Structures are given as C-alpha cells and as structure tokens.
Amino acid sequence: MKIFNTLTRTKEEFVPLEEGKVKMYVCGPTVYNYIHIGNARPMIVFDTVRRYFEYKGYDVNYVSNFTDVDDKIIKKAIEEGTSAQEVSQRFIAECKKDMAGMNIKPATKHPLATEEICGMIEMVQDLIDKGYAYEKNGTVYFRTRKFEQYGKLSHKNLDDLRSGERALLVSGADEKEDSLDFVLWKPKKEGEPAWESPWCDGRPGWHIECSVMSKKYLGEQIDIHAGGEDLVFPHHENEIAQSEAANGKEFARYWMHNAFLNIDNKKMSKSLGNFRTVREISEQYDLQVLRFFMLSAHYRSPLNFSADLMEASKNGLERIINAVDNLKHLMGVAAEVPMTDTEAEVFAKTEEFVKNYEAAMEDDFNTADAIAAIFDLVKYTNTNVSAENSKECLQKYFDLIVKLSDVLGLIVNKEEELLDEEIEKLIEERQAARKAKDFARADAIRDELLSKGIILKDTREGVQWKKA
C-alpha cells in the first residue's frame, strides 16, 4: 500500500511499526462552533483510511482529539456569559452528532486537551530539563534553533524563516531568545481558565497538546499523523520538534495531509466567514451525500464546493442504492436454490472490479477511482442479474456492493438502520444498566446508538431520542 508522505514528498510503501497494527493520530477540531464542511473533510478522509486498513485486516488504534481550550473558545464564552467548558462541551456533543450523521466511526479514543494538562506540564518540564525550552516571566518557550531538524516536514529553511519572522517583529517588545521560538505554556489572563504549574497559573500552547495526547494514547512512535494541509506549518512542524526532542526518536513515520475544501476557489474557514456547517447541509441532503462528495475527489486535490457537485453526488450515490434496492427486491422473489456453475462463472468476473477498487485504494487512497470501480460493478450487476437468478447468487452481488461501499463509509443498504422498537429496546437496556450502576455498558449503548445516528436526551420525563 502506498501513502504520500509529506515528510519525504513521495509515495512510500506502508510498513507498520508493528505487524498487523496501525497507530494513527488525527488532529481534531477546536470546538467553539458547529463544525463546517471544511472540518468535515479530514474527518471523512481519515475515517476512510482507517476503514481501508481495517478491511485489509489491520487492527487500527485511531486517536483524534478535541481542542477544548483556546482563545476562540474563551472569547465565545465571554460573549455568551458562560464558561469555556460549557461552550466546548456543547460543541463536542454537536460535533459527535454530525460525525454520526456522516458515518464516521468514533475514534478508539477522543482525548480532551483539558483532561491531559498533567501530561503537558510533564513534557514541558522534560523539555526544559533537556535544554530544549526556557521560561521567561511565566511563559515557557521552545528553543527552536536547538532542534536541528526543524523545518523538515514543511521543507522550510530555518534561516529564511527567521529573517521572515524578524521583519514582522514589533521592535524591542520580544522576550524570546529567537523569533522562531514558540509557546509551550502561557500565563493566564483575567477571566481565563488556568491550571497550576511550576511556572505560573496558566494554560498550554496548542502544539504541545497533540504531542502529549499522541504519546499517552499511542506511545512515543506512531505510524500515521494526519490533518488538513494548513496544519503542516507551524502546528505539525512544532509537534515534531517537541516530541522528537522529548522522546529522542522519530515521532511519526507517515504524515498525511488533506487539501482544502474551497468555496468559490477560496479556503472555507470560520475566519473568512464563507463556511457552511455540516448541520446546514444536513437540512438539505442526507449526510451520506456529503460523504460521497468528499470522496469523489482525491484527498490531496483541492475540492470546490458547489450545488452542482452536490447534486451529482446525490445522483451517484442513488445509482448504487438503486442497484442494492433492486437486488433486495429480486432476493425477495428468487428461488432458494444453490448457485449454478454459470452463475458462479458470471459472478467470478466481478473480481476484476474488486482488483481495480483495491488498486485505487492502495495507490494513496484514490477514493475517486475506487468509486469508479464500484460504479463498474454496479453496471455489471445491473446487466447480469434478474429474477431468474438463485437467491444465493443475488446475495453475493448484494454483499459485495455493500461491503465495498461500507469501506468508504457509504451506507447503501438503508434497511440496516435500526427500527424504532430496536431503539426503544436498547434504551430500556441502557436504563437498566444505569440502575445497576453498570455505566460502562450504559455508555456503550449510548455510543452504539450514536454511531447509528440516534441521539439520546435525558429529560425529566425520561429518555427521548431523535435521528441526527
């Protein structure tokens, strides 16, 4: 399997650190608003990468954080007259609903920055002890020039960076040893959330959060670190400097970055105000259409959002769903007889489409070509099946289309959705588990429902549910 590695700027053969296992960290969103569809691109892309590894038999440990302490969250809390924690908790819950709607598997672990402060203080201290960091008036900075490989991910030259930075400096006001040094820990300002530390009451810098959470949940070395291409510099460059200086070993083997989702050929972003939230899109389309749209381009190509492309995606997805519905209908009327040799021969030709599908995915996750292979399979199926076929044969076509779509996270067999009675039964089981203080089981049921797009709300009148 080939992966384009930002570090070497080449497609490299994927070799896991440990046979049969993949350790993967994906930088998650800063939670102060509903996520926009630009944020959804890395979520969908890397969930698909995970699903493909799982299809290949790998055991994937997938960690993706929520940045729940940040200037923007604090600003929003002040505007609303509430706490930063209330804001971040609210938008984490909303984000999880959107993720469920887009059929994104919950990560093995979704760490929250605010729950990992101890580890951050430890790593900052470690960096100070090793001479890679220093404190000035309560702020701790990373001594960038000491990390000789700085710039290796973004392919930037340290001297060029430094002269560029110097031009931007406000005269004399700087307390840093070097303009490229970046913050690991900063003192609190009035009204901000803060934690005690050996340097001052304050909070961590953004970059240290990911270095620490990745180390805690995946170890000092991981296979893949991923995010949007705007994170290459400085976020990922700084993560590498911190982690490699602290741990003395290579941090991540492969660095994967998705290109931007644009609108009118400009990056969609909260700051430009040109964004559409996933929630808005869900009012117009099934979020499976959004997922299809994202996967219809290669993840390293810019993708321009447009109504036309969304309509095309809707039609594309319907082509697959219609084939699956037709197979279901035929299976309902087909004879329960064994598959004939002729049927087996005709079905064997689908192997070619599977081969094309896998070749596309093995080539740096070319989902656009993988979808094209599914279309070919759908076309072949439509021309070769009829009510004359055995049920066993029809089932094989059905299973294959559903399986290949599922690896892309596309739900094409709508009946897989839970029936109302099944939901009620699971809610009852959850209530019983809570009563018995089996909170792990109760949470597992809530998560299972969430992954199927069912949101629970505990109210005074009992538990209510709705579809995301």
Binding site for ligand AMP (CB under 6 A): 27, 29-30, 38-39, 41-42, 227-228, 230-231, 258, 260-261, 267-269
Tell me how far, at minimum, the Cβ of 207 lies from Zn ion, in Å: 7
234 binds, among Zn ion, ligand AMP, none (CB under 5 to 8 A by kind): none
Nearer to Zn ion, 253 or 391 (CB): 253
Residues 204-223, one symbol each (x = binds Zn ion by CB under 5 A, - = not), give ------x-------------
Tell me how far, at minimum, the Cβ of 231 lies from ligand AMP, in Å: 5
**Is residue 387 within 8 Å of residue 330, measured between CB atoms?**
yes
Nearer to ligand AMP, 153 or 330 (CB): 153
Nearer to ligand AMP, 229 or 343 (CB): 229
Part in contact with Zn ion (CB under 5 A); list of ranges 25-33, 156-164, 258-266, 361-369: 25-33
27 binds Zn ion (CB under 5 A): yes
256 binds Zn ion (CB under 5 A): no
Tell me how far, at minimum, the Cβ of 227 lies from ligand AMP, in Å: 4
Sign of CA dihedral 153, 215, 30, 158: negative
Nearer to ligand AMP, 30 or 125 (CB): 30
Nearer to ligand AMP, 199 or 251 (CB): 251
Q: Which H, E and C letters describe the chain, residue by residue? A: CEEEECCCCEEEECCCCCCCEEEEEECCCECCCCCEHHHHHHHHHHHHHHHHHHHCCCEEEEEECEECCCHHHHHHHHHHCCCHHHHHHHHHHHHHHHHHHCCCCCCCECCEHHHCHHHHHHHHHHHHHCCCEEEECCEEEECHHHCCCCCCCCCCCHHHHHHHHHHHCCCCCCCCCCCCCEEEEEECCCCCCCECCCCCCEEECHHHHHHHHHHHHHCCCEEEEEEEHHHHHHHHHHHHHHHHHHHCCCCEEEEEEECCEEECCEECCCCCCCCCEHHHHHHHCCHHHHHHHHHCCCCCCCEECCHHHHHHHHHHHHHHHHHHHHHHHHHHHCECCCCCHHHHHHHHCCHHHHHHHHHHHHECCCHHHHHHHHHHHHHHHHHHCCCCCEHHHHHHHHHHHHHHHHHCCCCCCHHHCCCHHHHHHHHHHHHHHHHCCCHHHHHHHHHHHHHCCEEEEEECCEEEEEEC
Nearer to ligand AMP, 258 or 413 (CB): 258
Tell me how far, at minimum, the Cβ of 116 lies from ligand AMP, in Å: 17
210 binds, among Zn ion, ligand AMP, none (CB under 5 to 8 A by kind): Zn ion
276 binds, among ligand AMP, Zn ion, none (CB under 5 to 8 A by kind): none
Place of tokens 């294959």: 400
Nearer to ligand AMP, 75 or 403 (CB): 75
Nearer to ligand AMP, 231 or 373 (CB): 231
Place of tokens 């292979």: 373
Nearer to ligand AMP, 112 or 268 (CB): 268
Tell me how far, at minimum, the Cβ of 182 lies from ligand AMP, in Å: 16
Tell me how far, at minimum, the Cβ of 3 lies from Zn ion, in Å: 19
Nearer to Zn ion, 65 or 326 (CB): 65
C-beta neighbour count of 197 within 10 angstroms: 21
376 binds, among Zn ion, ligand AMP, none (CB under 5 to 8 A by kind): none
Tell me how far, at minimum, the Cβ of 308 lies from ligand AMP, in Å: 19
241 binds Zn ion (CB under 5 A): no
42 binds, among Zn ion, ligand AMP, none (CB under 5 to 8 A by kind): ligand AMP
292 binds, among ligand AMP, Zn ion, none (CB under 5 to 8 A by kind): none
Tell me how far, at minimum, the Cβ of 235 lies from Zn ion, in Å: 6
Part in contact with Zn ion (CB under 5 A); list of ranges 26-34, 104-112, 259-267, 459-467: 26-34
Tell me how far, at minimum, the Cβ of 322 lies from ligand AMP, in Å: 31
Tell me how far, at minimum, the Cβ of 179 lies from Zn ion, in Å: 23
Distance separating alpha carbons of residues 60 and 48, to the nearest angstrom: 12
Distance separating alpha carbons of residues 457 and 445, to the nearest angstrom: 13
Nearer to ligand AMP, 254 or 260 (CB): 260
Residue 192 backbone zone (phi > 0: left; psi -120 to 50: alpha; other: beta): beta
268 binds, among Zn ion, ligand AMP, none (CB under 5 to 8 A by kind): ligand AMP
Residue least distant from ligand AMP (Cβ): 228
Tell me how far, at minimum, the Cβ of 224 lies from ligand AMP, in Å: 14
DSSP for 286-297 reads -HHHHHHHHHTS
Q: Report the candidate in 36, 144, 140, 171 with the shortest Cα–Cα distance to residue 95.
A: 36
Which residues contact Zn ion (rule: CB under 5 A)? 27, 210
